[in-house]
Chain A
Amino acid sequence: DIQMTQSPSTLSASVGDRVTITCRASQSSSTWLAWYQQKPGKAPKLLIYDASSLKSGVPSRFSGSGSGTEFTLTISSLQPDDFATYFCQQYNSYYGTFGQGTKLEIK
């Protein structure tokens, strides 16, 4: 099994801040890494796929990078709508695995 470890688990930040969330895989995941945003009571939404590709309609302040075992999600300038929980996910062509999530809170 590939295990995905996100850090930090909780992040307190202010509107306008630049924030980075990290996801580490227990073994290489190539670039098959996605990032999702989830708000309370809602289904997750895809933000980034293939490690660095922005899904159509997602604001350009979101970006992803990395390959192999270490990946990052960066939000360049936090907006009020961005306070949510973020999950990474890898897929090994048989099944996927999610990170445990990072809750982004207002400082």
Chain B
Amino acid sequence: EVQLVQSGAEVKKPGESLKISCKGSGYTFNIYWIAWVRQMPGKGLEWMGIIYPGDSETRYSPTFQGQVTISVDKSISTAYLQWSSLKASDTAMYYCARLSGSSLDYWGQGTLVTVSS
């Protein structure tokens, strides 16, 4: 069974750094891109970027280029999303998902990030 399991909810202060994770299982992790998707409170879905675990190639949506860093450790089948300096506007639910062809066929349960002073 394909599963993506994300790390737990985080509460951070503005200016702090953060790295959240997404662990894949039940399939060959290295050969499927992993996407990160943001959903701000009460809003729609926003595509942040994707990473290919096989060679760590990363592609960012223009909105998120330079704002976050996507990385992967294929030895433990885990992708990451990180911020160096959080802002209140980063408060959102973050989902990872597996990219199959041109669609996201399996999703993690989401990680809620709250940034508040």
Residue positions of A touching B, CB distance < 8 A: 1, 32-34, 36, 38, 43-46, 49-50, 55, 87, 89-91, 93-101
A34/B102 in contact, CB under 8 A: yes
The answer on a CB contact under 8 Å between A49 and B105 is yes
Say whether B44 contacts A95, CB under 8 Å: no
Interface size, B (range): 20 to 34
A43→B45 contact, CB < 8 A = no
Q: Are B59 and A95 in contact (CB under 8 A)?
A: yes
30 contacts between A and B (CB under 8 A): A1-B62, A33-B102, A34-B102, A36-B45, A36-B104, A38-B45, A43-B97, A43-B107, A43-B108, A43-B109, A44-B45, A44-B97, A44-B107, A49-B101, A49-B103, A50-B101, A50-B102, A87-B44, A87-B45, A89-B47, A89-B103, A94-B59, A95-B47, A96-B47, A96-B104, A97-B47, A97-B61, A98-B46, A99-B44, A101-B44
B44 contacts A45, CB within 8 Å? no
Contact: A43 with B47, CB < 8 Å? no
When A and B form their complex, what is the total count of cross-chain residue pairs whose Cβ atoms lie within 8 Å?
A: 69
B49 in the interface, Cβ–Cβ < 8 Å? Answer: yes
Interface string of B98-117 (1 = CB under 8 A from A): 01111111111110000000
In the complex, B29 has a CB within 8 A of chain A? no
**Chain B, range 58-117, C-beta contacts under 8 Å to A:** 59-62, 95, 97, 99-110
- The answer to whether B104 touches A46 (Cβ under 8 A) is yes
Q: Does B50 contact A (CB under 8 A)?
A: yes
Asked if B35 lies at the interface with its beta carbon under 8 angstroms from chain A, I say yes
Q: Check B103–A34 contact: CB distance below 8 A.
A: yes
Query: Are the C-beta atoms of B101 and A43 separated by less than 8 Å?
Result: no
Cβ-defined contact, A96 with B35, below 8 A: yes
Residues of A within 8 A of B49 (CB): 95
A50, B95: Cα distance in complex, Å = 22
Further 10 A-B residue pairs, CB within 8 A, beyond A49-B101, A96-B35, A96-B47: A34-B103, A38-B45, A46-B104, A46-B105, A89-B47, A89-B103, A95-B60, A95-B61, A98-B44, A98-B45
